Amino acid sequence: FLHGPPLPTPPMLRFLGAFVALSAVHAFSPRPATIRHARTWLEAQGDSSLSARPWALIFDCDGVLLESEGLHRMAYNKAFQHYGIDAEWTEEYYDDLQNRIGGGIPKMRHYFGEVAGWPQSSISTPGINAEEQEAFLNTVQDTKTQMYKDFVAGGVAELRPGVRRLIEEVAALPDRPYLAVCSASTKSSCLFVLDNLLGRDDLLPHFDLILAGDDVQHRKPAPDIYKLAAERLNLTPDKCLVVEDSLIGLEAALGADMKCIITTTPSTRSQAFTGASLVVDDLDQGGVTSASLKSVVQREVGPGDGAVLDTNAFSQLVQMSNEL
């Protein structure tokens, strides 16, 4: 998969079997013992094994590929406890927080900087300056990330319904699209999760681009990560279809002028996703198939005025499009 330096045009890639090469290409070195299946990329002049593709299907990671937000909350609370921080994020509070602010450090910066105040702990005092605040946030985030990885490695997280089927269907298309992941989480956390959940089933090599929150200056709901994905894949935004689970993800996709379908989670199910092309509880519902998604992108099936389609209307539009 790709992440980091710009994609050559036309894209010419070669999968490498050893993830340890990643440190040489990207100066990023996760623990090799924990990342078993991930591939990195190397520009290969004259290698046309991957030609330019007509469109892209772009997944968010947490909440879309896997049901994970509860694990994130548990990992934050465990990290707070580890450093003696007098804070515990309830399920209700975290649901609200995650639907307003993307990325772990921005969440904590908002909470400690605007809600609770900077804490007395083993690594901080209430009067810390701006530089010390950033060091505190990074330390807690690194610890939280490792605790989250431990949850994932322990087999707690699973792919959401329909994810495996849809990836395999899309990858089998004769004119298959690019497959990409654009996550608001840190790169180390994102890669670890993808390796453990997609790598063990040999789904990870189907992906052509992986971007994380630290690849852009502004995280979701800013559209930066989706704009960067279109740039790296050398596609116009109208040829990119995003799968998200939250309002901030939808805002990011629409801000990048991309169509977006929503697969809800328990914390987002009651929200109004105005502007989405489709809202479903999971990817096994609503006629979400490789063929229907291809129709959405290539034949512009979907609302022209930003109204949300219900599953019946979506299926009818796809069927009408296929009969043209």
Q: What is the pLDDT of residues 230-287, one digit of tens each?
A: 999 999 999 999 999 999 999 999 999 999 999 998 888 888 999 999 999 999 988 8
Q: What's CA 69's distance to the chain center, in Å? A: 12
**96 tagged catalytic:** no
Give the position of tokens 């991930």. Answer: 38
Per-residue pLDDT at 300: 53
Can you give the three-state secondary structure of 158-200, one letter per residue? Answer: CECCCHHHHHHHHHCCCCCCEEEEECCCCHHHHHHHHHHHCHH
Helices (H) and strands (E) in the chain, counts: 11, 6
Record the tokens describing residue 71, joined without a space: 């694990």
pLDDT tens string 107-138:
999 999 999 999 999 999 999 999 999 999 99
Q: Say how many Å lie between the first and final Cα of the chain, rounded.
A: 35
- The helix (run of H) or strand (run of E) holding residue 148 is helix 130-153
What is each CA distance from 81 to 71, 125, 143, 178, 246, in whole angstroms? 15, 15, 11, 42, 28
Q: pLDDT by residue (tens digit) across 173-219? A: 999 999 999 998 888 889 999 998 898 778 999 999 999 998 999 99
User: Are 185 and 214 within 8 A, CB to CB?
Assistant: no
The DSSP code for 202 is T
Lowest mean pLDDT among 42-51, 67-76, 179-188: 42-51
3-class SS of residue 129: coil
Give yes or no: 60 in active site.
Answer: yes
Tokens coding 245: 């689970």
Question: For position 310, what pLDDT does the model report?
Answer: 52
| CB distance 260 to 242 below 8 Å | yes
- Cα 228 vs. chain centroid, distance in angstroms? 13
Percent of the chain with pLDDT over 70: 76
Count the neighbouring beta carbons within 10 Å of the beta carbon of residue 118.
18
Three-class secondary structure of residue 262 per DSSP: strand
The pLDDT assigned to 41 comes to 32
CB atoms within 10 A of CB 252: 28
pLDDT at 122: 96
d(CA 290, CA 5): 29
Residues 228-246: pLDDT tens digits? 999 999 999 999 999 999 9
The pLDDT score that the predictor gives to residue 206 is 95
Return the structure tokens found at 14.
Answer: 């070669």
Question: Who's near 322: CB < 8 A, 6+ residues apart?
Answer: 291, 295
Backbone angles phi, psi at 209, to 5 degrees: -150, 135
